[in-house]
Chain A
Amino acid sequence: MKTFVTRRVVIRLLWVLGFGVAGLVVYAWRSALPPADPPSADSFNADTIRRGAQLAALGDCATCHTAPDGETFAGGRPLATPFGTIYSTNITPDLTTGIGRWSLAAFERAMREGVDRQGAHLYPAFPYDHFTLLDDADGAALYAFIMTRQPVHAQTPDNHLPFPLNMRFLVAGWKLLFFHEGPYQPDAAHNLEWNRGAYLANGIGHCGACHTPRNSFGAEIRTRQFAGGEAEGWHAYAINSDSQSHAAWNAEALHAFLSRGWHEQHGDAHGPMAPVSQSLAAAADSDVQAIATYVAAEMGNPKHDKPAADPPNNDTGAAIYTAACANCHDGTRPLPFGGIKLTLSTAATGETPTNLINVILIGLHPPEGTAGAIMPGFASTLTDGQLESLLSYIRANFGARPPWTGVESSVREARSRVSD
């Protein structure tokens, strides 16, 4: 009897599940768009292509869509997500491995709805939850720029995603729950510049992809926009009123930081932010200015944690700081070639020790051929214990904040990444 009931329940559940899956499959079904003949370069106007180049710089498309040592936009860069590894696709106009056969309609559908030309749902590692804001003119300009790049024949490697996440129709369910499709809606409470900045920062710029925390389904938590997130083993600082920056940001400082990669009161862009500021140097200055205006307004006047009481005695940390760090960080050379005073460093005041650990271990190395701050890494010299002493010294004496928790495990994690 009992077995019979259980069996009936199981069968019913299977029916429900079956219908659910079938329903989702039907819901998820999107038609393929017909392959188009590749547009010729002279079918686009030069100004449109130039505008597209500026938008691609704002979106920093090249960083994700280029493999290490690979051809620009030819894809193949592995993106580690909590769910598995996703490879960026080839977005050059190559006819077989790229998007050479994509019409403008197919391109816009991918950008705004996260569906590729063949009708498959794209994983939200491609931030169409931001690109959906893109207006028609900008979509067409970006298309013109991409379709006039050099085609590169490069097959995108298969993603490493476990079952059932490798079934793309499930992404339709994710979209149903978390994706808000639609163009930018101007906010009448703010001026034109702010609205322009919001459109760019939340659209093509996709700042929130790193700076907004995500839920366990990998979706940005919209109520906590810009409250700080994670990116490739780095903490993306809060860029709203939760900002822990010692000196308050304003539009001018943000503009300088975003377009040249450093600011004397805030230090320099490192980790995954370094290529972003490098890319923004090629964007339209008025666009970067608008983003700076918008983000500065979002930050307002940040509230700070209560400062810690007198820093605890930490001879080891103090000695290491004096011997290894002070020469640059208490020197007289200005940024970006001298070190920032650590009283100004958000790495010392930040929510987690992650970025400070990363910088101490690997240092700062400007990408080949570019000017920028250089700092030697200390991974080979500092033991974990010495590093922890140094971290607590910097936190207490320069960050003037209560000690971080979980420093030991953060150090262990960072070490394992550094030795990879």
Chain B
Amino acid sequence: MIELKVNGRSYEVSADPDTPLLYVLRDDLQLNAAKFGCGLGQCGACTVLVDGAPTLSCVTPIMLLEGRQITTVEGLGSREDPGPLQRAFIEEQAAQCGYCIPGMMMRAQALLQRNPRATDAEIRAQLEPNLCRCGTHMRILRAVRRAATLMAGPASSPGTAVTPAAAGPQLDTPDTETGAQGDARSRPAYSERRERPER
């Protein structure tokens, strides 16, 4: 048994130690945000955070992750109360087919956590390893810039007090208020939603 800490929750996992994290997230924990793209660490669709750093979960065996903090898109907020990055991606309608988006979001999250005032060039450089075949790059860039504003600015939308220090929900501890870390098994993962959000 290997103990994995995902989105602030602990899971006992019985998968083989050499199983890639992506398979465990999707098959055992039903956290379906991270996607299987190439399986070779070349497309970025499976990107999650490990201790805040973007990590390709398809080539990362779980034996390397005991005691590390893993964060997936499900850890950024919930359907009912999306986090700033999620709100920004919805508001900018950044997804087309959506397959690359969770990877893009996690890599962007890593950057904005480290540097909420990232420049356009820094955002582009950060997202460079992640592929998008629909070509929605311009919207993705807009969404990340919007997220940066939501995270950093005092003028974030009313009702959601986002401080620069918080830069999104507390990723490493369960967020009881938003229920973001609620039972992942019982609700559809954020990125699995098919319906378009209201404008």
Chain A residues within CB distance 8 Å of chain B: 69, 319-320, 322-324, 327-328, 363, 365, 368, 374-376, 378-383, 386
Contacting A at CB under 8 A, from B22-61, are 39-42, 50-51, 53-56, 59-61
Contact of B64 among A328, A376, A382 (CB under 8 A): A382
* Chain B min CB distance to A378 (Å): 8
- The answer on a CB contact under 8 Å between A381 and B55 is yes
Residues on the A chain within 8 Å of B17, using CB: 319, 323
Interface size on B, residues (CB 8 A): 23
Bound Cα distance A379, B50 (Å): 11
- The answer on a CB contact under 8 Å between A323 and B56 is no
- The answer on a CB contact under 8 Å between B53 and A380 is yes
- The answer on a CB contact under 8 Å between B61 and A320 is yes
- The answer on a CB contact under 8 Å between B39 and A327 is yes
Bound Cα distance A328, B56 (Å): 14
* Chain A min CB distance to B126 (Å): 13
Bound Cα distance A131, B47 (Å): 47
Bound Cα distance A196, B121 (Å): 44
- The answer on a CB contact under 8 Å between A376 and B63 is no
Contact of A327 among B53, B59, B65, B128 (CB under 8 A): B59
| Interface residue SS majority, chain A | loop
Nearest-CB residue, chain A, relative to B128: A368
* Chain A min CB distance to B35 (Å): 15
Residue B18 at the chain A interface, CB threshold 8 Å: yes
- The answer on a CB contact under 8 Å between B63 and A374 is no
* Chain B min CB distance to A187 (Å): 46
- The answer on a CB contact under 8 Å between B20 and A374 is no
- The answer on a CB contact under 8 Å between B60 and A328 is no
- The answer on a CB contact under 8 Å between A381 and B20 is no
- A-B residue pair count with CB separations less than 8 angstroms: 50
Bound Cα distance A386, B60 (Å): 13
- The answer on a CB contact under 8 Å between A376 and B39 is no
Chain B window 152-193, contacts with chain A (Cβ cutoff 8 Å), 1 for yes, 0 for no: 000000000000000000000000000000000000000000
Q: Besides the contacts A327-B59, A328-B41, what 10 more A-B pairs have beta carbons closer than 8 Å?
A: A319-B61, A319-B63, A323-B20, A323-B63, A374-B42, A376-B41, A380-B51, A380-B53, A380-B55, A381-B65
Residues on the B chain within 8 Å of A380, using CB: 50-51, 53-55
- Across the A-B interface, the 9 shortest Cβ-Cβ residue pairs: A323-B61, A380-B53, A376-B41, A323-B18, A380-B55, A376-B56, A374-B42, A381-B60, A381-B64
- The answer on a CB contact under 8 Å between A365 and B129 is yes
Chain B residues within CB distance 8 Å of chain A: 17-20, 39-42, 50-51, 53-56, 59-61, 63-65, 121, 128-129
What are 8 sample pairs from A and B whose C-beta atoms fall under 8 A apart?
A: A319-B17, A320-B61, A323-B18, A323-B63, A368-B128, A378-B60, A380-B54, A381-B55
Bound Cα distance A365, B131 (Å): 13
- The answer on a CB contact under 8 Å between B63 and A320 is yes
Nearest-CB residue, chain A, relative to B39: A327
* Chain B min CB distance to A189 (Å): 49
- The answer on a CB contact under 8 Å between B18 and A322 is yes
Bound Cα distance A238, B45 (Å): 39
Residues on the B chain within 8 Å of A376, using CB: 41-42, 56, 59, 129
Nearest-CB residue, chain A, relative to B19: A323
Residues on the B chain within 8 Å of A322, using CB: 18
* Chain A min CB distance to B23 (Å): 11
Residues on the A chain within 8 Å of B56, using CB: 376
Residues on the A chain within 8 Å of B65, using CB: 381
Residues on the A chain within 8 Å of B41, using CB: 328, 363, 374-376
Residues on the A chain within 8 Å of B60, using CB: 324, 378, 381
* Chain B min CB distance to A69 (Å): 8
Bound Cα distance A319, B41 (Å): 18
* Chain A min CB distance to B57 (Å): 10
Bound Cα distance A378, B40 (Å): 13
- The answer on a CB contact under 8 Å between A320 and B39 is no
Nearest-CB residue, chain A, relative to B67: A383
Bound Cα distance A46, B60 (Å): 54
Bound Cα distance A382, B68 (Å): 11
* Chain B min CB distance to A359 (Å): 13
- The answer on a CB contact under 8 Å between B61 and A324 is yes
Residues on the B chain within 8 Å of A319, using CB: 17-18, 61, 63
Nearest-CB residue, chain B, relative to A382: B64
Contact of A324 among B50, B51, B59, B128 (CB under 8 A): B59
Residues on the A chain within 8 Å of B53, using CB: 379-380
Bound Cα distance A330, B195 (Å): 42
Residues on the A chain within 8 Å of B19, using CB: 323
Bound Cα distance A378, B59 (Å): 9
Residues on the A chain within 8 Å of B54, using CB: 380
- The answer on a CB contact under 8 Å between A381 and B40 is no
Residues on the A chain within 8 Å of B63, using CB: 319-320, 323
Bound Cα distance A153, B33 (Å): 49
Nearest-CB residue, chain A, relative to B56: A376
Bound Cα distance A378, B39 (Å): 15
Residues on the A chain within 8 Å of B121, using CB: 69
Count chain B CB atoms within 10 A of each CB in A327, A363, A376, A379 and give the residue with the most.
A376
- The answer on a CB contact under 8 Å between B64 and A386 is yes
Residues on the B chain within 8 Å of A327, using CB: 39-40, 59
- The answer on a CB contact under 8 Å between A381 and B50 is yes
* Chain A min CB distance to B40 (Å): 6
Bound Cα distance A381, B57 (Å): 10
Count chain A CB atoms within 10 A of each CB in B17, B41, B50 and give the residue with the most.
B41
